[in-house]
Amino acid sequence: MLQIADLRFAYGDRPVLRGLSLEAREGEVVAVVGPNGSGKSTLLKVISGLLKPGCGEVRWGGRDLLSLPPRERARLVGVVPQAPHLPESFTALELVLMGRTPYLGFLQGERKLDLDVALRAMEMTGTQGLAHQPVGELSGGERQRVLIARALAQETPLLLLDEPTASLDIAYQVAILDTVRAIQGRRGGAILVAIHDLTLAAQYCHRIVLLKDGVCYAQGTPQEVLTRENVLEGYGAQVCILEHPISGMPVVLPVPGAAGADGDGAH
Amino acid sequence: MKLFLQRTVGVVPREGEAETSAVHLSRFAWRPLVLGLLVVLGVSLLATAKGAVNVPPMTVAKIVASRLPLVDISPAWPSSWEAIVWDIRLPRVVVAGLVGMSLAMAGGTFQGLFRNPLADPYLIGVASGAGLAATVVMVSPIPLSLYGISLLPPMAFLGALMAVSLAYGLARVGGAVPTTTLILAGVAISFLASAVTTFLMLHVSPDVRPVLTWLLGGLSGSGWQRVAWILPYIIPCLLVIMAHGRVLNVLQLDEEQAQQLGINVERTKVMLIAAASLATAAAVSVSGMIGFVGLMAPHVVRLIWGPDYRFLLPMACVVGATLLMGSDLLARTVISPEEVPVGVITAFFGAPFFLYLLRQKKGMVF
């Protein structure tokens, strides 16, 4: 179980996380939502060890993630970054094999085991057909799935996805999130997804955590969190909430011309 | 595609050696490497044989062999040949090979570390630091040699290391050294050191030629003493760098991803910058600044065999050594008895070949 307690982080003297606490249990897909600047990306960077928080705790199953060396942490936390730089002439399989880095000794080459894990990860994300294509020739959605495969090859109990559907068309958005749900069925552990699209979050995630100004403003099931009042308070945006005719989950609809006095709700 | 499969399958250990196998060069990679080493041997034999006095290559091989322990060949050649081959040409060829190797390796390391295809071994101030130190020695009353040993290489070496350390120290923010800041600091220090060098040359030294000749780069005057001087630095550096092949592959992602994949990025950067700078400093201290080898050799390997640093680094050494030994051979024979600066030769033949490769494989450069 991921336990985050009273996490605080500031860029210089600009605080971004102000005592954030949240939990994610084994088997859950948890969406982290919130307006721009609410601390979603910062939260993921703290969990994955890129940023050192001022204070607070991040634990996985009782182990303190913040004090682990990078190699140990990379066996517990896998990350699918948002729009990362990728070396174009490496092939997709070579990229996925890089997910095995935390398991390889300094002078060790990839073993048969590593190749098997990488190929299984590609099969789970439906990218095995792309294995020998240079990364530079992949489409946005294909890159995203290859990156998910790389994080899967890391075999970590905790998986973090930063805006996995950003800048993808609706077919790819659905494909990516279907993949996320499917892989969650085949592995234990928890998945944390930072995501902007509230409707998509509601359809695919077991729980939603709404961040505002660096603290957790609301958390619970999609029905509990995605209410008209919460969205108005959290984002300063007027919306209608409907029920999805098939999934029964909330659907968040914008209301034209109703931008509140709070503007786009950034602060 | 097929190559890749072989590459991947090549690292699969055989049964029974599963966990102990530390194969970091796959079987696929050995063939061009072995071929390359044979080419290196061939070129060095040729370069030792040719010159103002042409010695038959077989005799060169015999002269060299007769120097080896446990080999007993009675000399059937004039003693002047022996002096030419053993005391003059061979050490020069060996220095050329070592310098070419070091520059290629350091260039490849900096290109990989900074994810910048334009990076060369001199990027963060090694050459200008060495140049400044050498100039100071030449224009000051410090003797040029002590007990018959030239002071120039050690001083240039110190200057190079000081420049890099300064750049590294200035670029340090908290515990991290951001790559862009390091490159900018290195470039700024290079300009400063070059300015001081120019000033010293023009206003203090009555004769700028020795400094200028040294700065332009060249391998004349290389004896076994120079081999002994650079070898202890170059070999450990090359080993450290080659051991980082797979890590450098992962670093082709950005530094955040590398960190998230379990690499201790800052420690790796310190190790690799230190090793590449030390190797470059050693090379510059005996040969001045020889352009193009460090930039081009890694790119040639990348264009022909792909971007895997586990193969790229050793192969770049082979290409760099071959290139510099061949160029030096031409440099001293084209308009003999005059010598052409070796940098002119590396650029003259290297650049068109490089451009040809670039045209062949557009878009796959980096």
Name the token pair of A49.
């060890």
How sure is the predictor about B244, in pLDDT bands with cuts at 50, 70 and 90?
very high
CA distance A151 to chain B (A): 9
| CB-CB neighbors (< 8 A) of A109 in chain B | 11, 21-26, 246, 310
Structural domain includes residue B21: no
Structural domain includes residue B27: no
CA distance A129 to chain B (A): 12
ipTM over 0.85: yes
Sign of the torsion angle spanned by Cα atoms B2, B5, B11, B13: negative
CA angle, corner A71, sides to A69 and A73, nearest 5? 70
User: What is the reported pLDDT for A259?
Assistant: 67
Strand segments (E) across chain A: 2-11, 14-24, 29-33, 55-60, 63-64, 77-80, 158-162, 190-194, 207-212, 215-220, 239-243, 250-254
CA angle, corner A212, sides to A209 and A217, nearest 5? 50
Q: What is the pLDDT of residues A80-90, one digit of tens each?
A: 998 898 998 89
User: In whole numbers, what is the pLDDT of chain B averaged over residues?
Assistant: 83
Name the token pair of A213.
């100004």
Which of B3, B260, B263 to mutate against chain A (most A CBs within 10 Å)? B260
Say which of A48, A91, A110 has its CB closest to residue B11: A110
Kindly report the number of other CB atoms within 10 A of residue B112's CB atom: 28
CB contact under 8 A, A109 and B260: no
Rounded CA gap, B258 and B252, in Å? 8
Structural domain includes residue B267: yes
Report DSSP letters for A189-221, one per residue: SEEEEE-S-HHHHHHH-SEEEEEETTEEEEEES
| CB-CB neighbors (< 8 A) of A134 in chain B | 364
Rounded CA gap, A117 and A149, in Å? 10
CB contact at 8 A, B5 and A132: yes
Closest alpha carbon within chain A to B22: A108
Closest alpha carbon within chain A to B262: A71
CB contact at 8 A, B290 and B343: yes
Structural domain includes residue B115: yes
Structural domain includes residue B24: no
User: What is the reported pLDDT for B323?
Assistant: 93
Rounded CA gap, A88 and A165, in Å? 21
Chain A contact for B360, CB < 8 A? no
**Burial classification of residue B337, based on how many CB atoms lie within 10 Å of its CB (0-12 exposed, 13-18 middle, 19 or more buried):** exposed
List B residues 111-130 in contact with A (Cβ-Cβ < 8 A). Answer: 115
| CB-CB neighbors (< 8 A) of B11 in chain A | 109-111
Chain B contact for A135, CB < 8 A? no
Chain B contact for A220, CB < 8 A? no
Name the token pair of A151.
């994080």
Percent of chain A with pLDDT over 90: 72
- What angle separates helix A140-153 from helix A112-124, to the nearest 10 degrees? 140
Location of structure tokens 């993949």: A179
Say which of A88, A104, A136 has its CB closest to residue B246: A104
Structural domain includes residue B338: yes
Report DSSP letters for B237-270, one per residue: HHHHHHHTHHHHHHHTS-HHHHHHTT--HHHHHH
CATH of the domain at B218: 1.10.3470.10
How sure is the predictor about B115, in pLDDT bands with cuts at 50, 70 and 90?
confident
Pseudo-torsion of CA B271, B247, B176, A83, nearest 10°?
160
Chain B contact for A23, CB < 8 A? no
Omega into B121 within 30° of 0, i.e. cis? no
HEC assignment per residue over B49-108:
HCCCCCCCHHHHHHHHHHHCCCCCCCCCCCHHHHHHHHHHHHHHHHHHHHHHHHHHHHHH
What 3-state DSSP class applies to A251? strand
Segment among A23-37, A38-52, B259-273, B277-291 with least mean pLDDT: B277-291
Rounded CA gap, B190 and B280, in Å? 15
User: pTM for this structure?
Assistant: 0.86
Rounded CA gap, A2 and A252, in Å? 28
Sign of the torsion angle spanned by Cα atoms A246, A249, A252, A253: positive
Beta pairing class for A250-254 and A239-243: antiparallel
What are phi and psi for residue A161, nearest 5 degrees? Answer: -120, 125
Q: Which residues pair with A22 in a beta bridge?
A: A4
Rounded CA gap, A139 and A160, in Å? 22
Say which of B23, B261, B302 has its CB closest to residue A99: B261
* Contacts across the A-B interface (CB distance below 8 Å): 111
Chain B contact for A68, CB < 8 A? no
Location of structure tokens 């935390």: A102
CB contact under 8 A, B262 and A102: yes
Q: What is the pLDDT of residues B247-294, one digit of tens each?
A: 999 999 989 999 999 999 989 998 999 999 999 988 988 888 888 899
Structural domain includes residue B274: yes
| CB-CB neighbors (< 8 A) of B302 in chain A | 89
What 3-state DSSP class applies to A241? strand
How sure is the predictor about B11, in pLDDT bands with cuts at 50, 70 and 90?
very low
Chain A contact for B3, CB < 8 A? no
Structural domain includes residue B114: yes
Check pLDDT > 80 for residue B15.
no
Residue A263 φ/ψ region, left for φ over 0, alpha for ψ in the -120 to 50 degree band, beta for the rest: left
Sign of the torsion angle spanned by Cα atoms B127, B128, B130, B134: positive
Domain encompassing residue B124: 2-6+33-363
User: What is the reported pLDDT for B6?
Assistant: 38
Name the token pair of B194.
């070059």
Q: What is the pLDDT of residues B34-50, one digit of tens each?
A: 999 999 999 999 999 98
Rounded CA gap, A69 and A189, in Å? 21
Mean pLDDT of B123-150: 80
How sure is the predictor about B23, in pLDDT bands with cuts at 50, 70 and 90?
very low
User: What is the reported pLDDT for B242?
Assistant: 93
The number of folded domains in chain B is 1
